[in-house]
A and B are shown apart, each in its own frame.
Chain A
């Protein structure tokens, strides 16, 4: 891990030197005429619109800190390069954003520009938020002005050298940042366009679900096809039949986003947080729009071979499955709708990267509770009970049964995941 970081760091410095002169700077200093004062910043409709967009943008996911005041910041946002602490975005004038102008705020949200002119790290998903309109951002600001100001000074930049050099973000921007608000596609339905806006804009789904380059930029050619993040694998959410949402109906996606549960899956880990703070608070029409857009995303075409049922790992895994898993997830892998996930129809199970599946078995997991689905059933931890070989066998079995096919998992994969999780709290 350390060597890999050194290599990335070295490459990073080289990139700065080599590219500095060649890449045009993305102008993150586009002037916003401060004389334009929007009317109605205290208007109810404006604030309400802002509240809704704040939920859609899931600001709370990062900006709700460890303290009790909402949006007061301080939460470490984990990146492959180190932690960045989310700042205080309450209207406190000294430690929050109370003293910011609307233009300052818009610059931060849509251009990744700090109030002092410096550049934000893309832990703040401004490349997605750029798709929002200026009106949207003003509404969010209007809402944020109404939350209780909380005094909480946060020093966001906790990155090691050389990533701590903010100027390096000029290069990053040139490579990965395309400013510009969302433009609807005339040929598509209103729902599709609304969904595209929510997914690519405020929802910033790709921040977790799109594969990244070694510098942390989106691999746009593989948008929404899944990415390993924070010890989880955020699965493919394209319409891919095997690894993605191909088997889910529009209603199934809406139910999942609204309640955290449907007949296939239960939200846990970072997605549980997303459901609780964001998607469960959106309208059914918007969730339907998101589902419409996701279902339109083509999946990959390459097929994965199913492992032979005569494989020793499959035989051992099947026995372990019947003993330890089938009580809840059932012998046919179908589980119990909205209670115990259907492993037979799970993108998390079939993902190329089995990190989430291994993690959930090793450490257990708690699914999300929502007003519509308050049960929040839990998956017990089996890490103390199954050794690496046994766990690899049962994961391999689950990934290659009931019509699923995915690469086998080795005991070494489990050992590495176990080691990588050891320092993480749940």
Chain B
């Protein structure tokens, strides 16, 4: 039997970055907020202290901080003619779990998208003509512009203490920064991180080739920082254990190190960990959310009534909860109708490994941080003329090597035996003198009619709910983009002085077992038209006006950057709309 809890003003589903931001903003507004989190409470000093958080086997190989597929998983297929099968161990992306969400184990690359990314369809059509785009590409404008959310990018960067160098201050191009970025209203709160040898060498080579390299914006602290909430972060130690790991010494921006210390002191905030929301409840009209139902670890079912529901889980779970709750019209790729599950995207990543003469180059690759790196943006978005190349999209590229961790850092040149004494000897010879950027080419992934999310017809989770089914593959446009970018990247690595390089193009079909990034996007996208978007420009559900859906599920397509800066800016933007518009006059904020 479901037991009913006392009503709250706001219930938040998932206490990661966007859930924490919304909780802090709405408690500041005086609202009584409860956040319900599927995973455990996580605290830096207790759960990933610096005396064991650098454990590659525990965290990287055995996935300690991530969702257990036993709890729930997804099914996967490349195309609609196949039968999807359940994912039993994580590969291409890592679903977060627990308080802090992906903010605990991210690399802290804190990018802004380009102004043209937000008006992508309009921009590309104007520049190249509608016929230039593949017919089944379903990219669209976001319904919000860069200028509108610039102040909210700024808020997130100052919350995090982002380390970086401005490239465009109020329209003035700044030497050393990214000249392609949108205008920012003030400099980064902290100077860039120090760059190790190979990263510096990459910048030098790129500069000599005529590019304008700049330090990657980093949520790893270049110096001690006190954020506007009064929370302090310490300087990064360049230990090289960021992505997949928690940061034990308060030097990587995360909800734990920026917001939660303030949030937990508020009397109008309550968090329930280890509780999984199974449904967003609506009234008989289906137009109004009445709260959520969740189960605790004993299997007891509870109803939490609330006036306002914030859905801030990971991309795929946002879409799943909408589908399971019957909110919004499910996407049907054949009829090309419906919105929930539509425009699902990921990222197009590739790498080039450079082998250098060990007598001349010692890169000490273990000196690194998650968001360290020197990058160029000449081939991102529409920063270059795509006309001659026959594809759209792009990405940043750079020497962004985040670590030299012992289990996975075993670079060997082509032709080396896969095991045995010769392999060991090659690893030893190359470990210190190899440049292995990892996600060196960080390309966009645009949306298509046949790439989508829906409920699996066969497989169910432990609670009897259908699993989410991912139907995803690379299209020709992304593969062309990747080949072009990887070749450009290879030129720079060679210019650094590499003896030989190993180019690993991204190739189809999409491989669910090989890690790219955790940047799954779309499925409940924002937009100006309810026929092609699940939520309006304020992240408010078109169908249920007291439901707001956060996160990268709102991205109509994915740009050539890491998504966190943008999804956090959108959360602040949405919170501001709730505080200044919605609470005064609850109801739809956009009428069409």
Report which A residues bind B (CB closer than 8 A).
324, 327-328, 336-340, 364, 366, 369, 371-382, 385
Q: Which residues of B contact A374 (CB under 8 A)?
A: 229-231, 261-262, 265
In the assembled complex, the CB of B501 is this many whole angstroms from the nearest CB of chain A, namely 34
Nearest 3 Cβ contacts at the A-B interface: A378-B45, A380-B49, A374-B261
- Determine whether the beta carbon of A369 is less than 8 Å from that of B261: yes
Bound Cα distance from A141 to B265, whole angstroms: 29
- CB contacts under 8 Å to A, within B232-252, are 232-235, 237, 239, 248-250
With A339-B250, A375-B261 already in contact, the answer to whether A380 and B234 are too (CB < 8 A) is no
- Determine whether the beta carbon of B250 is less than 8 Å from that of A364: no
Bound Cα distance from A328 to B236, whole angstroms: 9
Q: Which residues of A contact B237 (CB under 8 A)?
A: 327
- Is residue B44 contacting chain A, with contact meaning CB distance below 8 A? yes
- Determine whether the beta carbon of B232 is less than 8 Å from that of A375: yes
Who on chain B is nearest to A337 by CB?
A: B224
Bound Cα distance from A385 to B248, whole angstroms: 16
- Determine whether the beta carbon of A380 is less than 8 Å from that of B261: no
- Determine whether the beta carbon of A376 is less than 8 Å from that of B261: yes
Bound Cα distance from A378 to B49, whole angstroms: 9
Bound Cα distance from A337 to B224, whole angstroms: 8
Bound Cα distance from A379 to B45, whole angstroms: 6
- Determine whether the beta carbon of A378 is less than 8 Å from that of B261: no
In the assembled complex, the CB of A363 is this many whole angstroms from the nearest CB of chain B, namely 12
With A336-B224, A364-B45 already in contact, the answer to whether A372 and B230 are too (CB < 8 A) is yes
Q: Which residues of B contact A375 (CB under 8 A)?
A: 230-232, 250, 261
- Determine whether the beta carbon of A366 is less than 8 Å from that of B45: yes
Contacts A340-B249, A364-B49 given; 19 further ones with Cβ under 8 A?
A327-B237, A327-B249, A328-B50, A336-B234, A336-B235, A338-B226, A339-B233, A339-B234, A339-B250, A340-B234, A364-B45, A366-B45, A372-B230, A374-B229, A374-B230, A374-B265, A376-B261, A377-B44, A381-B49
- Determine whether the beta carbon of A373 is less than 8 Å from that of B50: no
- Is residue B46 contacting chain A, with contact meaning CB distance below 8 A? yes
Q: Is the interface of A mostly helix, strand, loop or mixed?
A: loop
- CB contacts under 8 Å to A, within B35-53, are 43-46, 49-52
Who on chain A is nearest to B221 by CB?
A: A336
Q: Which residues of B contact A373 (CB under 8 A)?
A: 230, 232
Bound Cα distance from A366 to B45, whole angstroms: 8
- Determine whether the beta carbon of B51 is less than 8 Å from that of A382: yes
Interface size class of B (residues with CB under 8 A): 20 to 34
Q: Which residues of A contact B231 (CB under 8 A)?
A: 374-375
In the assembled complex, the CB of A258 is this many whole angstroms from the nearest CB of chain B, namely 13
Q: Which residues of A contact B44 (CB under 8 A)?
A: 377-378
- Determine whether the beta carbon of B51 is less than 8 Å from that of A324: yes
Q: Which residues of A contact B229 (CB under 8 A)?
A: 374
Q: Which residues of A contact B50 (CB under 8 A)?
A: 324, 327-328, 380
Bound Cα distance from A311 to B231, whole angstroms: 40
- CB contacts under 8 Å to A, within B258-273, are 261-262, 265
- CB contacts under 8 Å to A, within B45-91, are 45-46, 49-52
Q: Which residues of B contact A324 (CB under 8 A)?
A: 50-51
In the assembled complex, the CB of B267 is this many whole angstroms from the nearest CB of chain A, namely 13
Counting chain A CB atoms within 10 Å of each CB, the highest count among B52, B235, B239 belongs to B235
In the assembled complex, the CB of B561 is this many whole angstroms from the nearest CB of chain A, namely 30
With A369-B261, A369-B265, A380-B49 already in contact, the answer to whether A327 and B232 are too (CB < 8 A) is no
Who on chain B is nearest to A379 by CB?
A: B45
Q: Which residues of B contact A379 (CB under 8 A)?
A: 45
Counting chain B CB atoms within 10 Å of each CB, the highest count among A377, A379, A385 belongs to A377
- CB contacts under 8 Å to A, within B523-578, are none
A selection of 23 A-B contacts at a CB cut-off of 8 Å is A324-B50, A328-B50, A336-B232, A337-B224, A338-B232, A340-B234, A340-B249, A369-B265, A371-B265, A372-B230, A373-B230, A374-B230, A374-B231, A374-B261, A374-B262, A374-B265, A375-B230, A375-B231, A375-B261, A378-B43, A378-B49, A385-B51, A385-B52
Q: Which residues of A contact B230 (CB under 8 A)?
A: 371-375
Bound Cα distance from A381 to B43, whole angstroms: 14
In the assembled complex, the CB of B105 is this many whole angstroms from the nearest CB of chain A, namely 18
Who on chain A is nearest to B50 by CB?
A: A327
- Determine whether the beta carbon of B45 is less than 8 Å from that of A377: yes
In the assembled complex, the CB of B432 is this many whole angstroms from the nearest CB of chain A, namely 21
- Determine whether the beta carbon of A339 is less than 8 Å from that of B232: yes
In the assembled complex, the CB of B123 is this many whole angstroms from the nearest CB of chain A, namely 43
In the assembled complex, the CB of B288 is this many whole angstroms from the nearest CB of chain A, namely 36
- Determine whether the beta carbon of A377 is less than 8 Å from that of B232: yes
In the assembled complex, the CB of B323 is this many whole angstroms from the nearest CB of chain A, namely 39
Q: Which residues of A contact B49 (CB under 8 A)?
A: 364, 378, 380-381
With A339-B234, A369-B265, A372-B230 already in contact, the answer to whether A377 and B224 are too (CB < 8 A) is no
